[in-house]
Structure 1
Amino acid sequence: MSKPVLLLNAGSSSIKYQVIDADDEEVLAKGLIQRIGSDEATIEHEVGGESFDDVSPMPDHTVALEQMAAMFDAHGPALSNVRAVGHRAVHGGDRFSSACLIDDSVVQALEELSPLAPLHNPPGIAGIRAAQKALPDVPHVAIFDTAFFADLPAEAYTYALDADVAEQHKVRRYGFHGTSHNFVSHAAAEFLGRDYSDLKQIVCHLGNGASMSAIDRGHVVDTSMGLTPLEGLVMGTRSGDVDPGLIFYLNREGLSVDDIDTLLNKKSGMLGLAGASDMRDVEAAVDGGDEKARVAWDVYIHRLVHYIGAYIAILGGVDVITFTAGVGENSATVRRDVCARLTALGVTLDEDANAERNKEPHSISAQGSPVTVLVVPTNEELQMAREVKAVVEQG
């Protein structure tokens, strides 16, 4: 008997969803709702190889999930068969170290943590409430982006701030993309036929948002994102690491705190440097001789190499470096340029394997390379389904 679970990833104006059979891990349906809050919101629903779409007013998440339910009623599968609902929760702070059943106290905690993730937690809460209203008789489970990094050592999560101020305001490194890093690191070990607890791993999750993790024989010891998802690597629109003094300087120069927030989160990164947030567009501009794009590309690669080198030092060596997510899985050029700068650290790339299109986990390092380099497609929804199943079975 199948055990379908509904998985929801609610953003401020969008909801991504999938239904996965938690037993055989088959995707039964998936969809995307966009432009929630407008009179022309869209929904795309895929099931059985067919796609269905609609445009209608969706003033809030409750109406959006009603439209989703209507799609399931019209085209299947039946939502009445769903055994549980899993919700992506971006920020669990230091309160949640694993997925958990959602009750009023969990929702309250997410509300209290919203100042740490004002763009992510509130829409997630709205999605939880709307889903509980639509499916009140099944368990709802929260899966936290931060949970995978809950056991970071103090030396990695502690900022060199006044300790009392940090404690009062819960300032520390939390890390994000944990669901992806969890899935990919385990998938890499499985692909290599190695025990997870035997490997020193670096995972490079490179999408519009980007982060890196260092995993020492099953224990996460560092990650690039911090208190918020702004820290670390260069991203599509986010700056990643900058001198904190930049904020005070720009404020004194006349920019408000909100202006600086918008600048660093939405107008920086590759968009700010090259005028495009999509790495495919940046790569095309580089090939066309655009000097701004070339500088942006080099900054992006430099930051990746910087973090990989640091993590190799922290790990005391590395067995496998894995690329994943939209850029990591699809840009052979990014992988090539990063690996070209790591030859002194034991990385030797197989150029043909790197150039090959492959949707399955595969090695792109040369035979005999001291460090194995992999490309492993991430599957956050499948990881969520596994965690929902585990929580529900535990009761």
Structure 2
Amino acid sequence: MTPHILAINPGSTSTKIAVFAGDEPVFVETIRHDATELAGFGHIMDQEGYRRELILAALHRHGLAVTDLAAVIGRGGLMRPIPGGTYAVNEAMLDDLRSCRFGTHASNLGAILARDLADEAGIPALIADPVVVDELGPLARYSGHPDISRRSIFHALNHKAVSRVAAAELGRPYEDLRLIVAHMGGGVSVGAHDRGRVVDVNNALDGDGPFSPERSGGLPAGSLVDWCFAPGADEAEIRRRITGRGGFLAYLGTADGLEIDRRVTAGDERAREVREAMAYQVAKEIGAMAAVLEGRIDAVILTGGLAHDGDLVDTVSRRVSFLAKIMVHAGEDEMGALTRAALRALDDPGTIRTYPA
């Protein structure tokens, strides 16, 4: 019988769920959470039971129960830095996620909900390639001052997933390839993949690398200090400028790529230049990762939601196509990526890692 996998991806105002029978989706659903209901919870971790019941109700609507599943896999949250791979949800992981000692985010609920539901059916509870995947080489950790070490926080799930798809297209194992992956979405992360390990990547959350629709990217350090010490400066507001109100939103008043494309088509020169500037910065970061890989590159992969924008892709490609073959895998198939990770783990349980690694 084809194994059925439940994938869970909690967000701040929704929970995405999907059941796949092998590689084929049975259903994919986004459960929206009303703001007034969420306001009744003092902390995001208090939402565990609420979201669990909604997931069970969704399964029931589709004629399924947890006992019909072979495994449950959740989106990994903020936890200890770990190498990429698929991990069994264990008590150490649950303790770190529930305590939020490494950060508070709705994705912390992914492993918790997976374990809740899997225990009910006596099946494996898993996560795969969370944002804290850390495979940086020692030189990549240097910032320029010993008080600050560079951190690995990026779109690890999609990076790894599209790399495996590209490897299959190239007819070679991912673990044999040198790739540069540029994920272009709400945030931008550009990573150097050296035979299965992401040995360098910009911190896509905290203000590193290219700017994006909502993030400011790497800002000039002196000017950033001026922000921090300006009269009336507020730490929370500065952080919002960096991670939520920067990039396209700051320059153009919108983070909507489709809206910006409409403006460009209508002749808005400012919108065209801002979009080209982002492509310019992405290309520069790809060039930096080419240096990390010493110019030995099997392919450059452009992915994420903005890879649907043909003009943006063409602009990046024009600047970096001399490096290697350009492969475009637009979008971010999170649910499919989680499911494929679970299927690989069920097929070869010896590959399942133990947290902390």
Task: Specify if TM > 0.5.
Answer: yes
1:185 and 2:169 matched: no
Runs of at least 5 residues in structure 1 that lack an aligned partner in the other structure: 42-58, 347-370
Find the residue that maps to 1:188 and give its secondary structure: helix
| 8 Å contact from structure 1 (residues 66, 134) kept in 2 | no
Residue type at the aligned position of 1:373: I
SS in 2 for 1:255: coil
Equivalent-residue separation in structure 1 for 2:77 and 2:109 (angstroms): 13
- Please give the alpha-carbon distance, in whole angstroms, between the structure 2 residues aligned to 1:200 and 1:98: 18
Q: Which amino acid aligns with 2:126?
A: V
- In 1, the alpha carbon distance for the partners of 2:91 and 2:173 equals 39
**Counterpart AA for 2:185:** G
- 1:29 Cα shift? 1.5
Give the match's secondary structure for 1:267: coil
Superposition deviation, residue 111 in structure 1: 4.5
Alpha-carbon displacement from aligned partner over 1:314-343 (angstroms, at most 9, x marks no partner): 222223111112111x11111111122336
Q: Which has the higher contact order (CA 8 A, sep 6+)?
A: 2
Report deviation, 1:241: 1.1
- Structure 1: distance between partners of 2:143 and 2:291: 20
Matched, 1:326 2:305: yes
In 1, distance between residues paired with 2:234 and 2:130?
30
Give the 3 Å change call, closer, same or farther, for CA 10–185 of structure 1 in structure 2: same
Q: Percent identity?
A: 25
Shift of 1:301: 1.3
Match of 2:325 in 1: 372
Q: 2:225 aligns with which of 238, 248, 272?
A: 248
Are the equivalent residues in 2 in contact too, given 1:202–1:311 (CA < 8 A)?
yes
The one-letter code sitting in structure 2 at the alignment partner of 1:258 is: A
SS in structure 1 opposite 2:7?
Answer: strand
C-alpha displacement of 1:245 = 3.8
Which of 78, 85, 109 does residue 91 from structure 1 map onto? 78
Tell me if the contact between 1:93 and 1:174 (Cα under 8 Å) persists in the aligned partners.
no
Please report the TM-score for the alignment, with normalisation by the length of structure 2. 0.84
* Other structure's SS at 2:255 match: coil
Residues 101 and 141 of structure 1 are in contact (CA less than 8 Å); yes or no, is this contact kept in structure 2? yes
Matched residue, 2:43: none
User: Does the CA contact (< 8 Å) of 2:142 and 2:150 recur in 1?
Assistant: yes
CA RMSD of the aligned region, Å? 2.7
Distance 1:102 1:36 in 2: 29
Contact conserved, 1:234 with 1:241, CA < 8 A, in 2? yes
Residues 218 and 244 (structure 1), Cα distance of their counterparts in 2 relative to 1, 3 Å cut: same
Task: Name the counterpart of 1:75.
Answer: 62
Asked if residue 259 in structure 1 is aligned to residue 247 in structure 2, the reply is no
* Alpha-carbon shift at residue 197 of structure 1 (Å): 4.2
Report the alpha carbon displacement of residue 10 of structure 1 after superposing the two structures with TM.
1.0
Q: Does 2:125 match 1:140?
A: yes
Distance of aligned partners of 1:186 and 1:12 in 2 relative to their CA distance in 1, 3 Å threshold: same
1:293 alignment partner AA: A
Equivalent residues of 1:279, 1:327 under 8 A apart: yes
Cα deviation for residue 8 of structure 1 reads: 0.8
Could you say which residue in structure 1 is the equivalent of 2:143?
Answer: 159
- CA pair 39-146 structure 1, distance change in 2 beyond 3 A: closer
**Is the CA contact 1:320–1:374 (under 8 Å) kept in the aligned structure 2?**
yes
- The SS at the match of 2:216 is coil
1:31 to 29, 32, 48: 29
Count of residues paired in the alignment: 338
Q: SS of the residue aligned with 2:233?
A: coil
TM-score (norm 1): 0.77
Counterpart position of 1:125: 108
What SS class does the counterpart of residue 32 from structure 1 fall into? strand
The DSSP-based 3-state class of the residue aligned with 1:62 is helix
For structure 1, which segment, 126-135 or 30-39, has the greater mean C-alpha deviation from structure 2 after superposition?
126-135
Structure 1: distance between partners of 2:6 and 2:52:
12
For 1:160, what is the secondary structure of its paired residue? strand
Task: Measure the CA separation in 1 of the matches of 2:115 and 2:93.
Answer: 13
In structure 1, C-alpha distance between the alignment counterparts of 2:16 and 2:310, rounded to whole Å: 27
| Aligned-partner Cα distance in 1 for 2:165–2:116 | 35
The Cα of 1:26 is off from its aligned counterpart by 1.5
Q: Does 1:236 align with 2:236?
A: no
Distance in 2 (CA, whole Å) between partners of 1:37 and 1:128 is 23
Report the 3-state secondary structure (helix = DSSP H, G, I; strand = E; otherwise coil) of the residue aligned with 2:144: coil
Q: Give 2:6's aligned amino acid.
A: L
Alignment deviations for residues 111-166 of structure 1 (CA, whole Å, 9 cap, x no partner)? 56x46543x2xx2334544554455333322324246x53221111332332xx45
Task: Tell whether the 8 Å contact from 2:215 to 2:243 is kept in structure 1 after alignment.
Answer: yes
